[in-house]
Amino acid sequence: MQIIIVGCGNVGRTLTEQLSKEGHNITVIEEDSDVIQNVVNNFDVMGIVGNGASYSIMKDAGIENADLMIAVTDSDERNLLCCLIAKKAGNCHTIARVRNPVYSNEISFIKEELGLSMVINPEEACANEAARLLKFPSANKIETFAKGRAELVRITIAENSKLCNKAVRDLASELSLPVLIATVKRGDEVFIPDGQFVLRAKDEVAVIGTPRKMFSFFRKIGKPTTGVHSAIIVGGGQTSFYLAQQLISFGVSIKIFENCKERCDELAELLPEALIIHADGTDRGELLAENIEAAESFVVLTGVDEENIMLSLYAATVSKAKRIIRVHRAGYNELIDTLDVGSVLNPRNITAEKIVQYVRGMSNSVGSNNIETLYKMDDDRVEALEFIIPEGSPVVGIPLIDLSIKKNTLIACINHSGEIIMPDGQSKMYPNDTVIVVTTQRGFNSVNDILAD
């Protein structure tokens, strides 16, 4: 597809890298010439220096022949204006990043009036992910498939875990596991395990199952199965606001540390059910004074990655709280992998992932081989995709054991008319089923891509 990306900050650069790798023709518009030069030097894309909200610049970028325009500058209003111009000049699909909470209640109106295909709010998306984790605190990360009927949950194996030092095949018989182990991350390596694979302490394991079976799985391995009842949030930005809103609706007791008096006053008015504390949340004395030892969850959302990491490590020494931190810089990924910092939210990756998911679905919209859901995992080394099975597909009606499936590709789950099936070798796929595929292969766009040549 012909895609124009306006704005080349963290999200724009990530989108440029991922979409260019998938074979799309990308043109990037950015006002900073040094940024454009860097992007053009590193990726196979065209670059234009200028204001993406200018019709003449859009025309130079080829808007009249574009299939999609994505606006991810640091200005909501500019992003919306870019979409309006793109829609009028090229009648293409448009996606805008819109962050201001003032627009939150008006998104449906804005999408309809401007003809937007998608609106993404990174802060709200991060808050949604954090809220899911706090409803299931034993998990490092939770992804949903099949309209919520199936979940992919990631956990880290402790030395005293019932999973530790056990082969996957043995676990199935010993514990009657109601879920499927899809991936294992061990240090820098990622595996799609077979039955002989032995799990070790500190492995991060991704398991797939229904919410009810996931509950049973955690109970069998001795992990907590209820959501948190209290949360301390450090930092009073927009992500904190969106998260607190959700947690309050779940009946969770909330304390928010914020060192700006004016922002504290705003939050106190917006969130009357929460306790807003005007103090430095990075001060250990202040945290102890607010009983961090007894908190069931600790969420660090300051604007400084280093503070978030250090606070999480400190919290681990004084409490058993479920810990979640936000980290913006990709350069910290390797460091974080060596530290026990809890669950990590990366707004750039979350935003880019949702947009890439839309783009893949759009790429296949002409046929019936739609991607319903897409998640990238382990620094983009693994993808979990949900496909609709089309009429006439070569996978239809054939037992999985008889299909020639590509290496490092797993059929993890089949959704047959709302019934979630954890497949074995005799399971079959039928038209209009959806199937979850986990793979280390790149660029699957159809369920047919799982087949070896």
175-212 confidence digits (pLDDT tens): 787 789 999 999 889 999 988 999 999 999 999 998 88
- Distances 139 to 75, 131, 149, 212, 215 between C-alpha atoms, Å: 34, 12, 17, 15, 11
The pLDDT-based confidence of 215 (bands split at 50, 70, 90) is: confident
Considering only residues 69 and 111, tell me which one the structure prediction assigns the higher pLDDT. Answer: 69
Could you check whether 2-120 and 230-345 share the same CATH topology?
A: yes
The pLDDT-based confidence of 442 (bands split at 50, 70, 90) is: confident
What would the pLDDT profile of 349-359 be if each residue is shown by its tens digit?
889 888 987 88
The two counts, helices (H) then strands (E), for the chain are: 14, 22
Cβ–Cβ < 8 Å for 351, 125 = yes
Mean pLDDT throughout 27-31? 96
- As given in the structure block, the two tokens for residue 250 are 């779940």
Domain 2-120: state its class. alpha beta
pLDDT, position 370: 63
pLDDT, position 86: 94
Give the residue from 26, 96, 29 showing the smallest Cα distance to 67: 26
Mean pLDDT throughout 81-92? 92
**In one letter, which amino acid is 420?**
I
The C-alpha atoms of residue 206 and residue 141 are separated, in whole angstroms, by: 9
Structural element, H or E, at residue 204? strand 204-209
pLDDT, position 28: 97
Mean pLDDT throughout 328-336? 79
pLDDT, position 363: 67
- 248 pLDDT more than 60: yes
* Domain range list for the chain: 2-120, 230-345, 368-450
The pLDDT-based confidence of 83 (bands split at 50, 70, 90) is: very high
Domain 368-450: state its class. alpha beta
The pLDDT-based confidence of 364 (bands split at 50, 70, 90) is: low
Considering only residues 170 and 6, tell me which one the structure prediction assigns the higher pLDDT. Answer: 6
- 406 pLDDT more than 80: yes
pLDDT, position 300: 97
Say how many Å lie between the first and final Cα of the chain, rounded: 25
What is the third-level CATH fold of 230-345? Rossmann fold (3.40.50)
pLDDT, position 331: 76
CB-facing half-sphere around the CA of 87: CA atoms within 13 A: 19
The pLDDT-based confidence of 369 (bands split at 50, 70, 90) is: very low
Q: Residue 365 phi/psi, 5° resolution?
A: -70, -20
Give the residue from 316, 309, 276 showing the smallest Cα distance to 293: 316
Cβ–Cβ < 8 Å for 165, 397 = no
Cβ–Cβ < 8 Å for 66, 19 = no
Angle at 307 between CA 304 and CA 310, to 5 degrees: 150
The C-alpha atoms of residue 65 and residue 90 are separated, in whole angstroms, by: 7
Mean pLDDT throughout 238-265? 95
Give the residue from 181, 217, 215 showing the smallest Cα distance to 422: 181
pLDDT, position 265: 96
pLDDT, position 413: 92
Cβ–Cβ < 8 Å for 29, 21 = no
- 69 pLDDT more than 90: yes
- As given in the structure block, the two tokens for residue 272 are 């009357």
Residues above pLDDT 90, as percent of the chain: 62
The owner of tokens 């199965």 is 225
The pLDDT-based confidence of 45 (bands split at 50, 70, 90) is: very high
Candidate from 80-89, 261-270, 331-340 with smallest mean pLDDT: 331-340
The H-assigned helical ranges of 259-304 are: 261-270, 284-289
- 130 pLDDT more than 60: yes
- 285 pLDDT more than 60: yes
Strand partners, 185: 190, 204
pLDDT, position 261: 96
Instruction: Kindly report the number of other CB atoms within 10 A of residue 107's CB atom.
Output: 16
Length of the chain: 453
Mean pLDDT throughout 275-295? 94
